[in-house]
Amino acid sequence: MSTEEQRRDQHRRRVQSELTPDVGPVDDEDETCSNCPEDAVYRVPWPYFGGDTAYCAYHLARYRALRLDIWRQLRDTGVPDPEDFATREERFVEFDDLPPKILGGEFRRIALDITGQGLYEQTQPDEDDHVAYVRVDRTLSEGDRIRVHRSGTGQFLGWFRETIGWHAVDDDVRWALQGGDCR
């Protein structure tokens, strides 16, 4: 093999190894989940075999729910079992897991946030025209509560989307926010 052919061969092998997805447990303690600030525990094929991304235990559980076909293929490849790394703890995986109303029907679901908690909005404003928002996990025990003047709910939800982030949002809210963006 000539020097030129050797060089090309080396180049080809390097490109091939870069293109080969790296799946399995994450060894790097500093690597974070590509969806949230938590530590990554496992790399999975994304969006299909050929690429990969690192997820925390919760987002691995979400990936399992949303990509069951790839999950099954992954388990057949003989890598350390991703089932041992995926845990949803007390968090919601899909928007439909969220009860439409909670706290005696007083709050309605708005969004599944990036951390796996549900964001809920008080259906009726208080007498002083404020609306409360709460975040709950699967135990439905109330987390943070914040009160916003009725005129500022769109702004609050825009802030929430930008700062916390969500996986899914109620259709009416999405329409309202898009309408708000166009004004």
**Binding footprint of Zn ion on the chain (CB under 5 A):** 33, 35-36, 38, 56, 59
Q: Which lies closer to Zn ion via its Cβ, residue 31 or residue 38?
A: 38
As measured in angstroms, the least distance from the Cβ of 38 to Zn ion is 5
Q: Which lies closer to Zn ion via its Cβ, residue 165 or residue 180?
A: 165
Q: Which lies closer to Zn ion via its Cβ, residue 27 or residue 128?
A: 27
Q: Sheet containing 42-45: which strands, arranged edge to edge? A: 24-25, 42-45, 52-55
Q: Distances in Å between the alpha carbon of 58 and those of 22, 37, 66, 147? A: 20, 12, 13, 29
DSSP assignments along 57-109, one per residue:
HHHHHHHHHH-HHHHHHHHHTTSSPGGGT---TT---SGGGS-SEETTTTEEE
Q: Is 131 exposed, middle or buried (0-12, 13-18, 19+ CB in 10 A)?
A: buried
Cβ neighbours around 132 below 10 Å, total: 17
As measured in angstroms, the least distance from the Cβ of 149 to Zn ion is 33
As measured in angstroms, the least distance from the Cβ of 80 to Zn ion is 19
Q: Which lies closer to Zn ion via its Cβ, residue 38 or residue 106?
A: 38
Q: Which lies closer to Zn ion via its Cβ, residue 90 or residue 172?
A: 90
